Amino acid sequence: MGIKTIPLSRLETDLKKTLNECAESGETVVVEMPDQRLLAIQRLEPQEDDSLMDELLAANPKFQALVAKSKASRRKPFSAEEQQSMNG
């Protein structure tokens, strides 16, 4: 797996193409920002993605508020018809 360095202007010109290239090749793309900073874009394998998503969601106050709101709301029980359609 290699590393490719590109200027921000290339990423801005064709974001979708650049991201697809990164995803398909497995290369890490390093983006050179105008102020000398660097950003890395790297493909994640599905098994790696699970823990990352958990960490991102746990650190997101808007998501945490949504979960709290959901937990506080009333639950409507499934009817027998709904349960049958879910089971097959």
Q: How far is CA 33 from CA 6, 18, 30, 39, 67, in A?
A: 9, 16, 9, 8, 36
Whole-model pTM?
0.53
CA atoms lying within 13 Å on the CB side of residue 5: 5
Digit-by-digit pLDDT tens for the chain (88 residues) are 688 999 999 999 999 999 998 889 988 999 999 999 999 998 877 665 567 667 777 888 887 888 788 888 877 776 666 556 555 5
